[in-house]
Amino acid sequence: MKFSKIPEATIRRLSNYARCLEEMGKKGRTVISSASLASMCGVNAAQVRKDLAYFGEFGIRGVGYYIKDLHEDIKNILGLNKKWRMAIIGIGNLGSSLLSYKDFLKKNYTIVAAFDIHPEKVIGPISEKMGRPVEILHPSRLKEVVKERKIEIGLITTPPSEAQKVADALVDAGVRGILNFAPTQIHVPEGFIVKNVFFTTILDNLAYILSNKSRKG
């Protein structure tokens, strides 16, 4: 049961469930049914149960799920029982905004190195923004710093034209996970993972739906 192929959509939803459970937990509730959790996340109740069933049995029949426990279980499933160490490359507007993005710092992810071709240009604005000042390094030191600081994930926030080069450097340094914010396709060898964050793709999606919604209603 543990090793059947798990849909990527399931993993995405688990991440959502975790967020909802956290909210619920803060509100002092202790138990939740698959139906409530489902409606909160906008999915089917059976879906919730199926998603969890890939990984074991977490509920109590006739009762539901203990919020605290389930939250912990999902975090373990997702690999969030540790802090992931990340580097960010490209400290323009987006990069510096991510650097100071509180939600990263809070829990399972931490940015432990920042790189830019022109380190001196960005030092001012950044140290201003952050509580603690952040040292911006030149990309030539990437490989060395990845080793030193045990970096496992790279965030690419350069212009699109530089993204593939940066990805190559990350691969060369042995960074297996890449989150790409530059709106261009990146290719990496087998065994490395790239996930894209293209909000323009999502915007295009929205534009499509809005354009074609007239015929529905």
Of the candidate spans 19-27, 62-70, 89-97, 174-182, the one that interacts with DNA by CB under 7 A turns out to be 62-70
- Amino acid letter, residue 100: S
- Min dist CB 140 to DNA, Å, is 39
Instruction: Tell me the C-alpha distance between 114 and 161, whole Å.
Output: 19
Extended strands (E) in 63-148: 65-66, 84-89, 109-115, 136-137
Contact between residue 18 and residue 75 where contact means Cβ atoms under 8 Å apart: yes
Of the candidate spans 14-22, 60-68, 79-87, 113-121, the one that interacts with DNA by CB under 7 A turns out to be 60-68
177: Cβ–Cβ under 8 A, 6 or more apart, which residues?
A: 152, 153, 154, 192, 193, 195
What count of Cα atoms within 13 Å lies in the side-chain half-sphere of residue 61?
0
Residue with tokens 């030539």: 140
For DNA, give the closer residue by CB, 63 or 78.
Answer: 63
Quick note: the x/- pattern for a second copy over 100-139, rule CB under 8 A, is: xx-xx---xx-------------------x----------
Interface with DNA (CB under 7 A):
5, 7-10, 32-35, 43-47, 49-50, 52-53, 57-65
Could you list the residues that contact a second copy (CB under 8 A)? 3, 8, 11-12, 14-16, 18-20, 23, 40-42, 77-80, 84, 93-94, 96-97, 100-101, 103-104, 108-109, 129, 152-153, 176-177, 179, 183-185, 187, 191, 193, 195-213, 215, 217
